[in-house]
Structure 1
Amino acid sequence: MHGKFIFIILKNKWSIWNTLGMTGGWSRERKKHSRLEFVLDDGSIFFNDQRNFGTVKFVNDGKLLVDKLRSLGPDMLSGEVPDGDFVNIMRKYQRKTLPEVLMNQKAVAGVGNYIKAEALYLAKLSPHRTVESLSDEEIVNLKQSIQKVMKESFATGGATIRTYSDFNGEIGKYGSRFIVYNQSKDPAGNQVVKEKTKDNRTTHWVPTVQK
C-alpha cells in the first residue's frame, strides 16, 4: 500500500491495483454492494462499493507497477519524509492552494478530505493560502500536522464516514476525535465554516484560527 493506492503482487508479473474511492472497502462477507469476489483456498473476500467510485485493475506488467508507484508522492503515513524533501515537493506547486496540493496524490500520497481539514487546522493555515505564501517553517509544520492526524487516525482504525468499516467489519473510531471536520464549532467555541475550495471538495475550517 502506498497512500490511497493498494496493490497486491501476484505470480508471473501480475498485480492487482485498488483504490477505495469514497465508499469502497473489503470484507470477508458478501454485502449488499459487493462488486467483486475473490475465491481463495480458505474462502472468499469481497470488494464492496456503494457509490462505485473505487477501482480494481488487473495488470500483467511489472514495470507498470513500478512506474505507478514512482508517479505518486511520498506516503505521509510512513513517516519517512525528510523535512527538506517535503518543502521541495510543495515548492513545485507554488501557485496552487494548499487543498489542491494536499489532495493531489502525485504530490502527497494518502491525504483525504478529513485529514486535509484537520491538518490545516492544526497547522493554523487557511485553505485559501497558496504554497508561495508559506515560509519553509510553515510547510514543515504542515507536514508534521498531516502526519499527526494520519498516525492517530490509523491507530484508531480510521474514520467511519457513511459506510466505512475495516476488513473485519469494525468501524473506525477516529471520527470521535474530529476537531473541525463535520463540526459546527472547534473545541474553543469558534465557528467552523464549510465551503467548497479549489480542490473541488468541501473544506471545514475556522477563519478566526487559520490565517
Structure 2
Amino acid sequence: MPELPEVETTVKSLNILKNKKVTNLNVYVKKLRYPVPSIRLKRIINSHITNLRRISKYVILDFDNFHTMIVHLGMSGRLKIVTTDRFRDKHDHLSIKFNNNSYLLYNDPRRFGFIDIVESDRLKDLKYIKKLGIDALDKDFSIDYLFKKVEKSEVLIKQILLNQYIVAGIGNIYASEILFDAKVSPLNKGKDLNKYQIGTIIKSTRKILKKAILLGGSSISDYISPDGTLGNFQKNFKVYGKEGSMIRGHVIKKVNLYGRSTFFCPNFQK
C-alpha cells in the first residue's frame, strides 16, 4: 500500500498539472472500494487545478470552481500522466483530459482505493479526513503529543504507529523501519515506553520518511510514480522483508502482529 512517502512523491510528480484546465473526464467503473461519484466528478470539467497536496495518505486536488477531488490509492492504486488514453489499461478506471492534451489516469488493479469530490470548504468535515491524527511530518508531532497518546496504552507501539487516528501517514513498511532506526522493539506496549524512547521514535520517523521521499518512495510491488519512475528507498531497507538475514552478526526476525508482518532485530531493539 502506498504510504506517506509514496503519496508525497505522487503529489510532487502531479504538480506539472497545476493551472491546467480540465477539458474532459471519463469514468470507466461504477465502484472501487466505494461507488465512484461519476456525476459529481463532471463538475470539474472546464475548471483549472489550483493546488495539489497531500493529507495523510490522500492525494488532494483543488480546483478553481471551489471543488476538491480526493484520491486514496488503496493497496495497488496509482495515478499516471500520459499523452493519450487510446491504449487505456483494463485497470484504468478514471481519465481526466487537460487543455495541454495530457491525461491523468487512475489505475487500480485491486480496486481498494477510492475517489471522492466535495465542495472545497467541506473537505475538513469529511469523516475520513476529520478523524485523522496528526501528520507524521507535522512539526507538532512532538514527544508530549505521542507520550500522552501511549502512556496508558496496552497496545503495542507498532500498532500505535499504524493507527491513522493517532499519527497519520505511516504504514506497515515504514513502521518496521522507524522502530529499527529508533532501536525500539515493536513488541513494547505503549505504556512501557519512556519519553526518551518516544523522542527517538519521533526523530526516526522524520529521518526515515524524509529520506524515503528524497528517494521517491519504495517500489516493492505496485508502486510507480505518475511519471513512470520507480522509488528507490527499498534499497535502504534495514529490516523490512529481510527475515532470516543477518545484521552485524544478529538475525532479523518476522512476527505477525494484528495480522501484519513485522520485521525487527531483537538484539538491537529493546
Common topology (TM > 0.5): yes
The yes-or-no answer on 1:37 pairing with 2:37 is no
Q: Give the CA deviation at 1:165.
A: 0.9
Identity percentage of aligned residues: 27
Query: Distance between the aligned counterparts of 1:107 and 1:186, measured in 2?
Result: 33
Match of 1:19 in 2: 72
* CA RMSD in angstroms, aligned pairs only: 1.9
Match of 2:141 in 1: 81
- Residue identity opposite 2:207 in structure 1: K
Count of residue correspondences: 208
- Residue identity opposite 1:89 in structure 2: K
SS in 1 for 2:255: strand
The verdict on how the C-alpha distance between 1:192 and 1:16 changes in structure 2, with shifts beyond 3 A counting, is: same
The verdict on how the C-alpha distance between 1:13 and 1:96 changes in structure 2, with shifts beyond 3 A counting, is: farther
SS in 1 for 2:196: helix
Query: Distance between the aligned counterparts of 1:89 and 1:8, measured in 2?
Result: 31
The yes-or-no answer on 1:170 pairing with 2:223 is no
Query: Distance between the aligned counterparts of 2:92 and 2:177, measured in 1?
Result: 31
Match of 2:254 in 1: 194
> How high is the TM-score relative to the length of structure 2?
0.71
The yes-or-no answer on 1:154 pairing with 2:213 is yes
Greater shift in the superposed pair: 127-136 or 4-13: 4-13
Structure 2, unaligned runs of 5 or more = 1-53, 83-87
Q: Give the CA deviation at 1:10.
A: 2.7
Greater shift in the superposed pair: 72-81 or 16-25: 72-81
Q: Give the CA deviation at 1:160.
A: 0.0
The aligned runs of 1:28-107 (5 Å cut-off) are 28-29=81-82, 30-42=88-100, 43-60=102-119, 62-63=121-122, 65-68=123-126, 69-91=129-151, 94-107=153-166
> How high is the TM-score relative to the length of structure 1?
0.89
The verdict on how the C-alpha distance between 1:188 and 1:32 changes in structure 2, with shifts beyond 3 A counting, is: farther
Q: Give the CA deviation at 1:150.
A: 0.3
Which is strand-richer, 1 or 2?
Answer: 2
Q: Which has the larger radius of gyration?
A: 2
Q: Give the CA deviation at 1:54.
A: 1.3
Is the CA contact 1:90–1:107 (under 8 Å) kept in the aligned structure 2?
A: no
- Residue identity opposite 1:115 in structure 2: Y
Match of 2:50 in 1: none
The verdict on how the C-alpha distance between 1:79 and 1:61 changes in structure 2, with shifts beyond 3 A counting, is: closer
SS in 1 for 2:163: coil
Is the CA contact 1:119–1:146 (under 8 Å) kept in the aligned structure 2?
A: yes
- Residue identity opposite 1:193 in structure 2: K
Q: Give the CA deviation at 1:77.
A: 2.7
Match of 2:20 in 1: none
Query: Distance between the aligned counterparts of 1:8 and 1:175, measured in 2?
Result: 28
Q: Give the CA deviation at 1:94.
A: 1.3
SS in 2 for 1:28: strand
